[in-house]
Amino acid sequence: IDYYTDLVAQGGLEATGPGQKEAYDRIDAELPNIRLAVMNSLSRGDPSALSLSAALGQYGFVRNRLPEVAHWCIDAAAIPHAPTSLRAQALQQAGFALVLMGAPDGGHALIDDALELARFAGDRRRLTEALLMAADLRLETGLDAEARPMADEALEIAQAIGDELLIGQALVMAARAARARVSRDEVARDLNQALAIFERAGDRRQEGRVIVNRVFLWLEAGDLDAAEKDAARLEALGEELDHAIGKAVARVVQVFIAIERGQLDRASELLDSSLAIARECGYQALLAWCLAAEAVLSAGLGDDRRAATVLGAIDGAGGALGGERWVRLRLEALRGELGARLGSELASLLADGERLRLEDLAAERV
């Protein structure tokens, strides 16, 4: 297992620089052997399973293997006498996976355990990473007020450590968490500073995270040309890394842009492809974004009842929509438009939608 642990650890280091795709490809090629090594170590209660499982977190996200990696992390974290800092990393990765897969309560509980362990271990780097993950997942589930102090603390520690990549990640998180209370210019400044850090490092995955946030800033400002340019860059990054979720996110933001431009046929085609990937990935916030786009598109095509039903389903999914301010604002505007056209019928259609699962609505279209 030491060989595969070293392989994945080296891949993790390379995955913060220009060799990201090659690093993930090497892990892909060895995945059957890695799987056997993890399972054998878990069966023996060997703590080395923890090092290997915990190191696979970002690979699992990029290559859409989060559920499998999450199960390994949870099982490995339960091994007696495992190192505290590694347990924190494993629980952090497992919590991330659970929230993305639609189990926010369990995910937040694991992340909070990871935070407690990181504080106890006195590991400032691990604590910063856990704070960033906790803030990110709270934003994913609409808990913006809880995310803000975590993002601010992470930025403070990252700056004290002096790690540029951690500072970049913390700048992105702090900008997202502060979006409702600071100006677009301030958010753009922090995002651009973070983007410069990731460009210098060649960290393409983190570049993509910055760019998707910039797309929504452009949409909020009504600058569709800038939004489209960044969306194309986002799609290119997803293709370069063979990042399924990244490619689907790029397509769904292009759906929103096409709708805003009045290109409804193009929006419909893009939506079908994004929904197919979102269903395959099982990423709840991405699925909710796709259905938010469908609600707006349906209204644009004259199907107000479908728009209201989909909107109700998103309401019923609680925080699944995530913390993206522009999407929320666009749906609130849609709700007002539907109310004006449907009158008292809107309430019953919303109630009908709340009883439906996002997955079932998505399946109706694909």
* 5-47: pLDDT as tens digits: 778 777 665 666 777 788 888 888 999 998 998 898 889 888 8
- Contact call for residues 92 and 125 (beta carbons, < 8 A): no
| Alpha carbon distance 86, 138 (integer Å) | 22
DSSP class of residue 82 equals -
* DSSP state for residue 223 in the 8-state scheme: -
Helix (H, G, I), strand (E, B) or coil at 47: coil
Report which DSSP code applies to 183.
-
Contact between residue 87 and residue 50 where contact means Cβ atoms under 8 Å apart: yes
Q: Give the whole-angstrom CA distance, residue 328 versus residue 173.
A: 18
The token pair that represents 218 in the structure block: 């452009």
What pLDDT digit, counting tens, does each position of 191-210 carry? 999 999 999 999 888 999 99
pLDDT of residue 149: 94
- Please give the pLDDT value at position 224: 97
Asked if 198 and 210 count as a contact pair (C-beta separation under 8 A), the reply is yes
In the numeric block, which tokens belong to residue 223?
A: 């600058």
DSSP state of 321: G
pLDDT in tens, 148-186: 999 999 999 999 999 999 999 999 999 998 887 889 999
Instruction: For residue 139, count CB atoms less than 10 angstroms from its CB and return exposed for 0-12, middle for 13-18, buried for 19 or more.
Output: buried
Token pair in block for residue 266: 């193009």
What pLDDT does 268 receive? 94
Residues of the chain with pLDDT below 70 are 1, 11-16, 319-320, 322-323, 366
Which residue blocks in the chain are alpha helix, DSSP H? 2-14, 20-44, 48-55, 57-62, 66-77, 84-100, 104-121, 124-140, 144-161, 164-177, 184-201, 204-221, 224-241, 244-261, 264-281, 284-300, 304-316, 325-342, 345-354, 358-365
- pTM here is 0.84
Residues 6+ apart with CB under 8 A from 141: 99, 104, 108, 318, 319, 320, 322, 323
In the numeric block, which tokens belong to residue 68?
């499998």
3-class DSSP state for residue 323? coil
Give the C-alpha distances (Å, rounded to integers) separating 313 from 20, 100, 279, 332, 340.
Answer: 37, 18, 16, 14, 20
Please tell me the distance from the alpha carbon of residue 58 to that of residue 320, in angstroms, as a whole number: 21
Separation CA 347–CA 353 (nearest Å): 10
* Structure token digits, residue 172: 């992105």
Residue 45, classed as helix, strand or coil, is coil
DSSP code per residue over 134-175: HHHHHHHTT-HHHHHHHHHHHHHHHHHHT-HHHHHHHHHHHH
Q: Which amino acid is at 86?
A: L
CB contact at 8 A, 128 and 120: no
The amino acid sitting at 268 is: S
